[in-house]
Structure 1
């Protein structure tokens, strides 16, 4: 306990001296507590920090405990030094010497060394005990995932907002770009196979029909288009380059030089007319998705509504209203008639169409800034990402509070969750892509060095676990999509 190191010598102190020292210590302690409380209030009220107030308060309290422990031990050490000096003066006045006249080598030195050792040990114990409360909240992994950059898909003339993988053969990659076009790519060769140029504005999202060769795109021209495609995969002349880079490489990648350009114009088949055009919105259509079965689609718009349409007739079936600000994303459940919409109003909403006669809605306020996306997993979970730099995992059976929270250092864009490994891929504004498991443990960070990785904001990620090589794709405002091979060791998957 603090104070033990000076207890034996304090008995020789005069009673008045004891009371005076005790009173001074109390006044000093009260003054210190008042100063510390005032400082803590100033820190919580005035400091510009992104940390939640509760977490900041907890951190200040923990470090305050360390400071108080150090202060008590420091005062004890000063008292011991004064007593040693007093005894040395008394012995010197009596003409006595200590082991050859050098007090620093005698019994008092041993006592002082013992006190210093106790001080060091107590500080070490206090530090470990207090900081363990902080460190325990940060989950660490014992081994690192291996990430391989396999292919870059370059051809768009502006940033890429979204990407998707076809669900039926031939399996191709689709990208939606601010250059008003959507492109289909051969995953193995990186060659562009088809261009859709039917929109008059930025193409903000792309999704493929579950059983037919049809694509659904949403655009800034206030429409969503359904269009058919036919592609033939080119032969693979050689296997993709195997470029293996540790995921934790911290080397920074310099931005592309202003003079550099992407690949020049290329000749590909182009589709300019949609099979169906959905014109029910009064603002930018930011996202659209197919409901299970592919007979209906849902679209989300900046007009603060989401609309449900029949695919065959293009008829508007339902208008989903309630969000207070622009919608940012929509997603459908892979096996049930459930829709989740995200908004700038810091909420996401769960819409239930399983009962044809009842269309229920639930509102979830789990974030403090724009919810950039919320997606379903194969199980009974919803994962939401936000500009507040957090990702939260929710249980559909109990959505009162998240079952896991991931805190990051940058705003998060359109996330995706792998069906088999249940790994969350987080694309960030700061050009990073990070991987977490469903419990919130960090697994990897994709490389962004040696002129690999994204050079601008990463907008979207999508998993493709049917392909054993390219199983993750990302895209960003550097006008390229990237195919990755993510190898998560079995040890990490079991955690």
Structure 2
């Protein structure tokens, strides 16, 4: 995507996943209502003063609490069985070592020590589960306000990547499986420039292109207020989908020849990013390597090898010469180019499935997302274990972090986009209904912290990008 008045355009071939085309609202049956202990008339709502959305939320939360305690009860039984087994083993070992039975005092001491360790494990489990339940209640008291501002429609196939220019003029960029990249006016939603230089689906031509653009931004039009709470969701299906067959980009200027073509990969180029300073670029490929190029000469500076399977993403640090690459081998790697003579590599194994993206934040944090349905926050000073783990109900695609407010935007396979803070507390879910939101898998998210109208952009298989205005209350930010 464009930075420093240039642009790297890449995208990828479609995942071979079966997608659901409709969304059903979860309903709670009467037996579940009875288990909550709440009055039936309150839950069924005929005489209740509670809004239906609040009742549904309460039912869901009480159901979650019940499931948590059922799981804890089962785990407690397992731990008690472990204690009994350990006590029996200690008694047997005591006879084998001493040739006679251990004294009751010695056996009691060993058993008490083991029991203490297991009890501590049980306490930790209860604490973690309780924190999860409390976090669920927190999200219902204060919600972020998420307003859909603009839809960017013009691509003829799914949009794989979205980015915002880091320099003036501030424009939106999208890369699509229709072999094109488009630049958009954020305010008006009009396409400004189309790039058609690639000859393969996604970057199946095994190259990354750098091209220069010059745009004149149109006069912005007033934006209608369509603000919706970040937790609202309404059932929708394919018949609600707008007609996206028209080519809204047909009347904009077209660039067909790149300024520079980077050619060293032996497989699909799936991602690209600029190193700080704009003189070098890094690309990630399905050939299991990442390449560092000199932009002015198009020469390959370094080939970064070590991943065992295809790469899925690459990202550079905003202020330092650091690169992080993610892969289908369930790992992500940190590459350090701050010292020209040293290119240290650290491998991080925190996920159980494909790492779809890993991104830097300001400071010493890296955030990684995976098909294992988790997002993890890491401290670069101590990467042995994550400092926070976010568990979700769907695979996670290319995440992005709002540096100023420290908010992570999670695009999902199940068409949802969720917002979390760096400690793992959910702040909002972007609204989806028959009138707004994504209708296919959401592939990527990108923050634009300095833009006064849109500060978050998402794109997906529904061939559109969406601009959002996210307002996080001060109360939530303090938490």
Q: Which range, TM-score by smaller chain?
A: 0.7 to 0.9
TM-score (normalised: structure 1): 0.71
Partner secondary structure for residue 358 of structure 1: coil
Question: Compared with structure 1, are the counterparts of its residues 57 and 251 closer, same or farther at alpha carbon in structure 2 (3 Å cutoff)?
Answer: closer
- Map of 1:191-206 to 2, 5 A cutoff? 191-203=190-202
Q: Report how far residue 256 of structure 1 moved.
A: 4.5
Q: Report how far residue 60 of structure 1 moved.
A: 3.7
Q: Would you say 1:152 and 2:136 are equivalent positions?
A: no
Partner secondary structure for residue 493 of structure 1: helix
Q: Would you say 1:246 and 2:229 are equivalent positions?
A: yes
- Map of 1:309-458 to 2, 5 A cutoff? 309-458=293-442
Give a deviation string over 1:343-375, Cα, whole Å, max 9, x none. Answer: 000000000111111111000000000000000
State whether residues 338 and 350 of structure 1, in contact with CA within 8 Å, keep that contact through their aligned partners in structure 2: yes
Greater relative CO, 1 or 2 (CA 8 Å, sep 6+):
2
Distance of 1:295 and 1:67 partners within structure 2: 58
Counterpart for residue 468 of structure 1? 452
Q: Would you say 1:134 and 2:129 are equivalent positions?
A: yes
Query: How many pairs does the alignment contain?
Result: 365
Question: Compared with structure 1, are the counterparts of its residues 349 and 190 closer, same or farther at alpha carbon in structure 2 (3 Å cutoff)?
Answer: same
Question: Compared with structure 1, are the counterparts of its residues 355 and 64 closer, same or farther at alpha carbon in structure 2 (3 Å cutoff)?
Answer: closer
Question: Which of 450, 456, 463 is 1:479 aligned to?
Answer: 463
Distance of 1:133 and 1:224 partners within structure 2: 45
Contiguous gaps of at least 5 residues in structure 2: 1-66, 80-124
Counterpart for residue 45 of structure 2? none
Distance of 1:361 and 1:230 partners within structure 2: 38
Q: Would you say 1:295 and 2:293 are equivalent positions?
A: no
Q: Report how far residue 137 of structure 1 moved.
A: 2.8
Counterpart for residue 188 of structure 2? 189
Question: Compared with structure 1, are the counterparts of its residues 251 and 57 closer, same or farther at alpha carbon in structure 2 (3 Å cutoff)?
Answer: closer
Counterpart for residue 117 of structure 2? none
State whether residues 410 and 417 of structure 2, in contact with CA within 8 Å, keep that contact through their aligned partners in structure 1: yes
Q: Report how far residue 467 of structure 1 moved.
A: 1.0
Question: Compared with structure 1, are the counterparts of its residues 468 and 258 closer, same or farther at alpha carbon in structure 2 (3 Å cutoff)?
Answer: closer
Distance of 2:352 and 2:213 partners within structure 1: 41
Question: Compared with structure 1, are the counterparts of its residues 493 and 338 closer, same or farther at alpha carbon in structure 2 (3 Å cutoff)?
Answer: same
Question: Compared with structure 1, are the counterparts of its residues 485 and 379 closer, same or farther at alpha carbon in structure 2 (3 Å cutoff)?
Answer: same
Question: Compared with structure 1, are the counterparts of its residues 388 and 67 closer, same or farther at alpha carbon in structure 2 (3 Å cutoff)?
Answer: closer
Question: Compared with structure 1, are the counterparts of its residues 67 and 348 closer, same or farther at alpha carbon in structure 2 (3 Å cutoff)?
Answer: closer
Q: Would you say 1:262 and 2:241 are equivalent positions?
A: no
Q: Report how far residue 260 of structure 1 moved.
A: 3.9
Partner secondary structure for residue 136 of structure 1: helix
State whether residues 197 and 272 of structure 1, in contact with CA within 8 Å, keep that contact through their aligned partners in structure 2: yes
Give a deviation string over 1:66-121, Cα, whole Å, max 9, x none. Answer: 999xxxxxxxxxxxxxxxxxxxxxxxxxxxxxxxxxxxxxxxxxxxxxxxxxxxxx
Give a deviation string over 1:239-275, Cα, whole Å, max 9, x none. Answer: 1121111111131221256894433453110000001
Counterpart for residue 13 of structure 1? none
Give a deviation string over 1:437-481, Cα, whole Å, max 9, x none. Answer: 000000000001132100000000000011122100000000000
Q: Report how far residue 62 of structure 1 moved.
A: 2.4
TM-score (normalised: structure 2): 0.73
Question: Compared with structure 1, are the counterparts of its residues 388 and 232 closer, same or farther at alpha carbon in structure 2 (3 Å cutoff)?
Answer: same
State whether residues 154 and 262 of structure 1, in contact with CA within 8 Å, keep that contact through their aligned partners in structure 2: no
Distance of 1:251 and 1:296 partners within structure 2: 45
Question: Compared with structure 1, are the counterparts of its residues 59 and 297 closer, same or farther at alpha carbon in structure 2 (3 Å cutoff)?
Answer: farther
RMSD (CA atoms)? 2.3
Distance of 2:383 and 2:70 partners within structure 1: 28
